Amino acid sequence: MARILGIDLNIHFSWILIFGLVLFTLSDRVFPEAYPFWSDQKTLLVAAVAAFLFFASVVAHELAHAVVARVFRMKVSSITLFLLGGVANLTEEPKSARSEFAMAIAGPATSFALGGLGLLIEAVTTAPGLQSAQAVAGYLGAVNITLGIFNMVPGFPLDGGRVLRSLIWGLRKDRSVATRIAARGGQAVAVLLVLGGGYIVFRERDTFGGTWYFLIAYFLYTSASSSLSADRAAGAVRGALVAQLMSTALHAATPAMVIGTVVRDLVLPFDLRAVPVVVQGSLVGLVFIADLRNVAQEHWPVTPISEVMRGVEGLPSLGPRDPLTRAMELFGETEAPLLPVLEGAALVGLLTRDSLAGYIRMRETLGLADR
Ligand SMILES: [Zn+2]
């Protein structure tokens, strides 16, 4: 949607709700209680400015993560502003404990700095004419400090959980052990949040406030659990290479073949989800079955496959001696049902998502996972 410092900024639809909720809470309760003599228009205007700056604060927090990640040469593709703060999409996991620590702490540090700045401005804008500035600064001070504290809760994958993981990782020199401890921490915090939410709903009779706790707990528990299973899967493939699992039975098309022929001779008989397109053994592109639906069926007998294939330049690929953990990372980033395995430009194999998933399941079933 927007682009800042070369990073795409996506705004999750939940943010429209959050913005509305913040605006409503400020204009209906917080400011009217603190400044009962303000006109309705003034209250609404000041609340809108405060809500917008709150939104900007969350963006600043996320950008801090992204900028530090880039300093350590981690790829950050985009930032999605989500229900509970933001999510910086790292396209790869941090390579070292030090880089993870710096990347994770940057967000909360920014929030604390903005919070401190807000409180400082609140303290110096005591002149009567500056009352609305003081109100906005005071709100931003409090909300940013709350944001910093919440994100430092030591449950992976919250920032605090990443900080915890990087510290254990640095001490024990084992990322996998660190991930398990930090993710268990995330699950434990989620359970505590459910208990806290229950207390608020049943003891304080505040269903709305309690629901927030349940939502955050749900988000945290599922993310921590998926980190655990991703770590378990990575353990299952550790040490294995792409060459061991790739298929070398290559059913490939040439660019001039028409869609009808490819479907009849390759897709249907071999049950392919994607067809590699080669010229003299070199991969030039891939055709995904999903893309064929963009061409009307009556044109299939005359449309060459080159018109629907995705060129090799934009495609992720593997080498036969790449570790399977690399394949897992790539499958995590794309929707592609398979990845071509190349030696130079030559197509030497195909690795499907299904075969990788099956391999991981089998290792786990046989108890061969690395733990
Ligand atoms: Zn953060």
Q: What is the predicted pLDDT for the residue at 369?
A: 56
Residue 172 CA to ligand 1 center (angstroms) comes to 24
List of domains in the chain:
2-152 (no CATH), 242-365 (3.10.580.10)
Q: What is the predicted pLDDT for the residue at 110?
A: 95
Whether the predicted pLDDT of 235 surpasses 80: no
Q: What is the predicted pLDDT for the residue at 52?
A: 92
**C-alpha to C-alpha distance for 62 and 107, rounded to whole angstroms:** 6
Between residues 215 and 195, the one the model is more confident about: 195
Tell me: the pLDDT tens digits for 35-62? 888 888 888 999 999 999 998 998 888 8
CB environment 17-51: b (16+ within 10 A), e (fewer): ebbeebbeebbeebbeeeeeebeeeebbebbebbb
Tell me: the pLDDT tens digits for 66-83? 888 888 877 666 665 555
Tell me: the pLDDT tens digits for 142-180? 999 998 998 888 877 778 888 988 999 899 888 888 888
Residue 235 CA to ligand 1 center (angstroms) comes to 27
Residue 107 CA to ligand 1 center (angstroms) comes to 5
Q: What percent of the chain has pLDDT over 90?
A: 13
- Which residues, at least 6 apart from 43, have a Cβ–Cβ distance to it below 8 Å? 27, 31, 32, 35
Query: 268: pLDDT confidence band, cut at 50, 70 and 90?
Result: confident
Query: 354: pLDDT confidence band, cut at 50, 70 and 90?
Result: confident
Q: What is the predicted pLDDT for the residue at 240?
A: 82
Residue 81 CA to ligand 1 center (angstroms) comes to 11
**C-alpha to C-alpha distance for 219 and 211, rounded to whole angstroms:** 12
Environment of ion ligand 1 (residues, CB < 5 A): 107, 151, 159
Q: What is the predicted pLDDT for the residue at 337?
A: 83
User: In terms of DSSP bridges, do strands 274-279 and 86-90 run parallel, antiparallel, or are they unpaired?
Assistant: unpaired
Between residues 128 and 142, the one the model is more confident about: 142
Whether the predicted pLDDT of 91 surpasses 70: no
**C-alpha to C-alpha distance for 319 and 342, rounded to whole angstroms:** 5
Whether the predicted pLDDT of 308 surpasses 80: yes
**C-alpha to C-alpha distance for 192 and 188, rounded to whole angstroms:** 6
Question: What is the pLDDT of the chain when averaged over all its residues?
Answer: 83
Whether the predicted pLDDT of 115 surpasses 90: yes
Whether the predicted pLDDT of 371 surpasses 70: no
Averaged pLDDT for residues 110-138: 90
Whether the predicted pLDDT of 285 surpasses 80: yes
Residue 52 CA to ligand 1 center (angstroms) comes to 19
Between residues 166 and 3, the one the model is more confident about: 166
The answer to whether the pTM exceeds 0.75 is no
Residue 310 CA to ligand 1 center (angstroms) comes to 35
Query: 90: pLDDT confidence band, cut at 50, 70 and 90?
Result: low
* Range of lowest pLDDT (79-83, 136-140, 251-255, 269-273): 79-83
The residue type at 368: L
Element spanning 3, H or E: strand 2-4
